[in-house]
A and B are shown apart, each in its own frame.
Chain A
Amino acid sequence: MTEPRNPGMSAIPQNNPTQTETSAQAVEMDPVEYTLRKRLPRKLPKRRNDVYVNMKTDFRAQLARCQKLLEGGGHREICVHGLGLAINRAINIALQLQASSQGALQLAANTSTVELIDDLEPEDPDEAGEPMTRTRNNSAIHIKVFYPVPQ
């Protein structure tokens, strides 16, 4: 977690095909131009009390969803997950929940590393040939927000 692994570049094994010129006009292309295409992160099965935080939905709406789960939904605990940029927001939501509950709620945070996959598609498929796939790591946070069990 401390140090991101080297992005493992791995090309799909290919036996080099015989190339044919597809078009007469040769447009000069940058040979190392790729289109980056991010694949979805691994999705885990979702319980009812899991909240995945994103950056697109309105903050207040996400907060309200959590509050509803805790108060109306009858859950004793919920899990707030955030990945990458959304970590900040996940923390924010958890703290807001705690503050608004007047200390009744407790937090337990866990961090983890999520492996993500990117596809690199060559701009000019015939010349460069090999599409690449690489992995990179991103941090994630999982915050458990719960009512402590009374002793």
Chain B
Amino acid sequence: MSSAKAKMREKKMRNQPASVQYPSCSQVENGGRGEDHHVSEGGQSDALPSSKRQRTPSDRSGWVRGHQKDGGGYAREMPKYITGGAFARARAAEVNAMLKAVTKTTGSSQVFASLPRHMRRRAMSHNTKRLPRRLRDLANRMREKSLQAGPKKKKEPAKGKSRKARRRHGNLLLEFNRRQRKNIWLETHIWHAKRFHMVKKWGYCLGERPTDKCYRPCYRAMSSHCLLQDLSYYCCIELKGEEDELLAALSQLTCKEAGPTFAAAVSLSGGRQGSVTVYRAGQYPSQPLGPVSYLWRPRTPGETHRQLWIWAHPTLKQDLLPELQSVCRCSEAVAPPVEPEVSNPEADHVTVAEPKPGNKGKPGAKRKRSCKDAGEPPPKKIVGDGTRLPSTPVTWKSSSTGIVINDLTMEILRYRLIGPQSHSVLAETLEAATVCDGSMKEQEPLLWWPQHCKDQSNMDLLQQQTDVFNLLKGVCSTGELPPGTVLGLTVDDPRLTLPKRKVKAVPSVNQSQEADEEKRSELKLRGVPQACWDSLLWEQSVRDNVTDNKISEKDLNCMRSELLVPGSRLSPTPPQGRVPILLVHQPGKQVGDELNSWGAGWDLLLPKGWGMAFWIPLVYRGVRVAGLHMSLKHSQNKAAPHFPHDYPDCPAGARFQEEQEAELLDRFKRRPPAKRANYIKHGCLAPFRCPWQQLAEEWELLMREEGAEGKGDEQSAAKTDVVTEEVASQQNTAPTYRPSCFYILRNRRSLRLLSGWCRPTTSKGQRPCRGAAEAPPLTPAAVTSFCSAHRMSLVWVRLTLLSKGKPEPHAMVCAPTAEDLKLFGKKLLSSGPQEPPHKDHLKCRIKSKKKSSKEAATSLPPSDEREVSDITPASDPNPSKDPHSSSGLVLGVWPDPLPSVTSHCSRVTLGWVTQGDFSLSVGCGEALGFVSISGLLDTLLKQPVEHRGKLLLRNPSSLHYRWVKLNIDV
């Protein structure tokens, strides 16, 4: 008997009468019931109930339950007589003991544990009034007891300062700075952390979604008002150099076939933001890196020196930066202190007093010192990147090309406003900078604005920009403006015009005059005039000056308190309160025919340090704030691929897929086995990931077999086709990579061709696309040539459900059979075909393994047995116990070498869905995903014309196929 058991037993025995003796549990029956046994001799009537009584639940541990096999000691000890008084006393003591045992609760159990489940309420132990009245006294007593006992125990680990001390400003800052060491905080972090579920992703702390329920409000904001997001985690990389050199270097990363490149005339002038998919140098079409958006600084007249900002997702940056360095031959890292333009020294300048705790490694010592040493300046807030070592180079120079690469991560903030009213929010929040009057004394020569004001040409420019900006107030919808327009501006500190309470920004159309109307239509037609593109945000020195000289909230409030009329606007505007900004228009949905320019908006670029100063005024204009979740939904509604989710051929996308699979599998394994979906029975091979590579390979093999069957002559005939020539010319771009790795088709021409093929030519409502006449018809010859050009490629498709149903991620896209299509014509849409349930052959394997493992480890307690079968060896803490599960079997999921993914089910699989949901903008289920080109064309070719582009979709946990319409938007 263990010591704990003995203790327990001792506790039990305390209340027992002396006359009743319990033996230790090994010889219970004979000794303990000695007195009973003589009774059983005396009369059966007494013996039976008493022995029953012994078995009532009141008897606890130490007793052997149930009938004993050896029959007990009935025969051994038979007293000759019983004394009435002694017997009664003994019984009375027993009854007492039992009553006591029934009424007394054991130490660990709570009062509400005695309640049935449906009567239990949340937080009962906290608030005893939630209990039924009869139990309240007891609960109160127990609560008091636990309160007495609790604090002593809990106090011990809590050490050091009181809450008050911890919340003191300096200490709080230190604590915040410590927490920023691993993951970068955005400037709006504290604001977000109070309202959002935060996740640590890509080295940042980001808001995933608000804690309140606001999925639909956020959607409504996106489609009718304005939704705000902090995209400051996007990394900006600055390239400086001669225009020719830059273009020559960057042209290796892109290809004209996939759309506009860095050299596109519109964006090269600096008037538009461009976006492009970047590839590894010279590797198009394989080995893409990911999408970036870029912005050229407008030319200064008579100079060929240009400045370019490339905005990339943080996961993309780690791939992109080395590639850029190699392309530009920028291998020489410039040590931060040497180069005055480098961002980091200036970051140090801001945080100079705060000796970056992360880099020194002794935060404890630091804190003490800063507390003791009053002379030392107080800790400063980290502005910018707190995780980077100050010695890490952020600038690279090339001696041969003269290009300078600057890593401006966290130097420039980016806020995204999505929605048709985002320009009115901006127009209401921001006010063009007021000019400094000449009477301003020269007491602050450091400030840039008074200096800047002296030059009349600058003032003219500002006036021009202000005029354009004021025009925005009269524009009704953001989608009316030319996509990608850039507007530079200098604005006043928006904190000065903060409204008293939240207001909703609306466009002011009625007050617009005729003259403005003319200008406005000019703006819509031609975009922002060229002079207004430039902003001082491009200047490193101005940015730093603005960041350093920001008025703190406290000083601002002091100045406000000295105003004569409380609540009036501070005037004149303090000279520090001018900020250069850049407004970049974001085009909305540009592909497809429906919902044009849905989700258009503006990006607001700010110098660092000013984050909260702009955030709060924006929020006060009635915008809704969303997190990462909504940005995914935004791109889903736009039918645009979202990085890194929908870029499986990019390294970042592949990494994301692995992470996602691990997470989903983990979540799956946390469910009890009986409650899990058996994906094997559903015929779903890969419920947590999409094996694109296998899919592409299998389809390639299938097509080759088909081609070998007897189309040799046809292929040769196809070669002469004009279309074929066109397509085949693209074939020679990168033949070496084709067999090795799948890639996603981004060639615009091919996509357009494919898009034309996918839509039915006769169906009503589908107007033929422009240039449909010149597009070649879908013939076997054209298909073969197309396939041979893009053998291992996938294509991004949008699938709209024709009936009900909500597609889920990783749902299968399948090709319908001829019978299905026939039925489709006859029956109502709602009923698609069913997949016959599959058999789980692996189940018995798992079971037998379970059995064998049970035999192997009989000593295991029964509760552990269940887990043994679930644990894969990868996560198995003690694999020695379970040597048989070598293949990592999880019940209901196929083990790793998957069988053929295409022909596993009754319908041939073409691809998978990466994003799927009920689309609020369309009003039905909509899915986005990839399908294999060879498979798709093969299917299309077999389908009759009126049903062309109709496919089947099946969720991983369902057997029901749903009809979908395939669209390829270009």
Contacts and interface: CB of A to CB of B under 8 A. Distances in A.
A44 B510 CA distance: 10
B271 interface: yes
B264 A40 contact: no
A130 B525 CA distance: 14
Contacts of B526: 10, 12-13, 133
A36 interface: yes
A25 interface: yes
Contact of A38 (B266, B596, B732): B596
Given A45-B509, A133-B526, A40 B596 contact: yes
8 contacts: A14-B269, A17-B269, A20-B263, A27-B257, A126-B261, A131-B265, A133-B525, A135-B525
A147 B798 CA distance: 46
Contacts of A117: 480, 524-525
B748 A123 contact: yes
B476 A42 contact: yes
Contacts of B260: 125
B225 to A, nearest CB: 13
Given A125-B265, A133-B526, A36 B770 contact: yes
Interface of B: 243-244, 247-248, 251, 254-257, 259-261, 263-266, 268-269, 271, 284, 299, 420, 476-477, 479-480, 482-483, 506-507, 509-510, 521, 524-527, 530, 590, 594, 596-597, 729-730, 732-733, 748, 770
Interface of A: 10, 12-15, 17-23, 25, 27, 36-40, 42-45, 56, 115, 117, 119, 123-126, 129-131, 133, 135
B512 to A, nearest CB: 12
Given A22-B256, A23-B251, A37 B265 contact: no
B265 A130 contact: yes
Nearest to A128: B265
A42 B266 contact: no
A131 B132 CA distance: 76
Contacts of B299: 15
Given A22-B247, A27-B257, A125-B259, 7 more contacts: A12-B271, A22-B251, A22-B255, A22-B256, A39-B480, A42-B476, A117-B525
A48 B644 CA distance: 42
B589 to A, nearest CB: 11
A22 B243 CA distance: 13
A13 B530 contact: yes
A17 B248 CA distance: 14
A43 B247 contact: no
A45 B243 CA distance: 45
A44 B476 contact: yes
Contacts of A18: 243-244
Nearest to B284: A23
B420 A43 contact: yes
Given A39-B479, A40-B480, A20 B265 contact: no
A119 B482 contact: yes
A27 B477 CA distance: 39
A10 B244 CA distance: 28
Contact of A10 (B263, B477, B525): B525
A128 B935 CA distance: 36
A115 B507 CA distance: 20
A95 B464 CA distance: 50
B525 A126 contact: no
A116 B366 CA distance: 65
A5 B208 CA distance: 51
Contacts of A43: 420, 476-477, 480
Nearest to A55: B765
Contact of A15 (B256, B261, B269, B732): B269
Nearest to B264: A125
A20 B476 contact: no
Given A10-B526, A125-B266, A22 B476 contact: no
A43 B507 CA distance: 11
B299 to A, nearest CB: 8
